Structure 1
Amino acid sequence: MFRNSYDSDNTTFSPQGKLHQVEYALEAVKQGSAAIGMRSKTHAILLTLKRSTGELATYQKKMITIDDHVGIAIAGLTSDARVLSNSMRQQAMQSRMLYGRPIPVARLVQTIADKAQNNTQIYGRRPYGVGFLVIGHDETGPHLFEFSPAGTAFEYYAHSIGARSQSAKTYLEQNYEAFEDASLEELVRHGLNALADTLQQDKNLTKRNTSIGIIGPSTEAVDRAEEGKVSGAAQRGYFRVIENDDVEPILRSWRRSRGEPEDEPEAEGEGETQQQGGDAAQPQDDVEMA
């Protein structure tokens, strides 16, 4: 790789107006496997492609529960994700202890963005090499945010990060108008379509490499809320992760809607290993990427 005097200092701008260390951190996010987020009027969902570090390793978890009403999907360095997610949990716990209520999703995301931005302007520190998709549900409804190592946080109707995420973005951009009024089942189906677009040609979505995170009320709670019989946490629902055997019925229904065989594909097409990084540079040494 070509290097210059600005590569090792994250507090000095290059003549082109760039902070190279921040840009390298953004590249680390692209080395992680794909993560997709979407939201409708009632729900927000995450879909991730789990990655295995080798033939003998289990698939890495891509989703982390922050609070009952907030969950995240990660792409990048798992060690950095652990540090930042613990900080988010502390903020959520502090809100419940001091104010007796769940922390607003936007405030939580902005807090962690400020923490990451601080590392981009202090000499001797490096930017965090991980990106998040954050979903949550509060008094203002469901939310989807993207957090990046640059310390930015933006809200989206739908978004994707990680390896080959541009293919998923293309699908989301072409279909996003249908998301707002979509049912939970339709939203998940669109998400699986987008996630499948990030796969290599010889890979498939299976129960081992696919995770789905959902925040929002159950169908029964939605009906009861319309009748004025449910309020508070029951309307918001709880963040829950569906994976392994629990995700198989959803994948079967999705394959059926696409006219494909419902049975799970053969094992050799299940997912990707850590060394298959897609459109970004390959992970180096034993750094754990998700």
Structure 2
Amino acid sequence: MAFIGGGKGGYDRAITVFSPDGKLFQVQYAQEAVKRGYTALGIKTDAGVVLAAEMKPSGKLVENGSVEKIFQIDDHIGASASGLIADARVLMDRARIEAQVNRIRYDEPIPVQTLARSIGDIKQIYTQHAGVRPFGARFLIGGVEESGSYLFETDPSGVVVAYKAHAIGGGANDAIEVLEDKYDEKMEMDDIILLALNALDKVIEAELKPTNVEMATIKAETKKFQKLANEDLLKHIKRLTS
């Protein structure tokens, strides 16, 4: 293999080359792309899972809902994303295929952990081949099964970690501070929704509105992914601010 010149400028030219201190700079750059993205979060309790994301206000000429930050993967699984949303969309299409293949092959819904690991595997592959770059997207993948509620994070390196509640993106630290302070495993669904809105309210600079928030729930009793309509979001926001 040809020698790549010293200094960061040399070692960041190829994804397959480690720097002398053991870093893959292209992976770190992908992590930085996520940090510059809008905040997304996930919370799970026995009552179910809530996924929420900060949305950039759309212009007058943009169709509402044309840009997604929260994706449905299967009936019982969804994901919130931060970073390069184009990268996220491609990976979510792969995730949906994985979920459908599992139903055809095993005649049962795919386990949340299996799906999260599959997406993590795809991301990891893109850190060790020349001619490609890492995916600049991080996900919080949540779902409900017969055995309970689950929430997993996958980052650009391919690492998969389970959480009770977590936030990603530019305002993640502030949102995590709220989650750590107010999270309770015994929360009911309405309380989880309010906690998610409370965390986003901490990071969104403008007034909290249905136009700058996207949210979905997966309730334990139904095990069905459902996005909240603007009128439902408005009711919960009024509860938060009252």
Does the Cα contact within 8 Å between 2:73 and 2:95 map onto a contact in 1? yes
Alignment of 1:79-158 (within 5 A): 79-158=86-165
Question: What CA distance in whole angstroms lies between the structure 1 residues aligned with 2:231 and 2:106?
Answer: 39
What does residue 4 of structure 2 align with?
A: none
What does residue 31 of structure 1 align with?
A: 36
What does residue 207 of structure 1 align with?
A: 210
SS in 2 for 1:127: coil
TM-score normalised to the size of structure 1?
0.77
Does the Cα contact within 8 Å between 1:210 and 1:243 map onto a contact in 2? no
Question: What CA distance in whole angstroms lies between the structure 2 residues aligned with 1:18 and 1:55?
Answer: 44
Query: Cα offset for 1:61?
Result: 2.0
- The AA in structure 1 aligned to 2:189 is L
TM-score normalised to the size of structure 2?
0.91
SS in 1 for 2:177: helix
Q: Confirm or deny that 1:61 pairs with 2:37.
A: no
Q: 1:178-217 CA deviation, whole Å, 9 max, x = no partner?
A: 2x101111111111111111122xx111011112111123
SS in 1 for 2:228: strand
Cα 1:206–1:52 change in 2 (3 A) is closer
- The AA in structure 1 aligned to 2:210 is K
- The AA in structure 2 aligned to 1:101 is E
Output the aligned Cα RMSD: 1.6
What does residue 192 of structure 2 align with?
A: 187
Question: What CA distance in whole angstroms lies between the structure 2 residues aligned with 1:116 and 1:61?
Answer: 20
SS in 1 for 2:210: coil
SS in 1 for 2:203: coil
Question: What CA distance in whole angstroms lies between the structure 2 residues aligned with 1:54 and 1:27?
Answer: 27
Does the Cα contact within 8 Å between 2:39 and 2:172 map onto a contact in 1? yes
SS in 1 for 2:211: coil
Query: Cα offset for 1:14?
Result: 0.9
Query: Cα offset for 1:56?
Result: 4.3
Sequence identity percentage: 36
Question: For structure 1, which runs of at least 5 residues remain unmatched after alignment?
Answer: 218-234, 257-290
2:49 to 38, 44, 47: 44
What does residue 246 of structure 1 align with?
A: 232
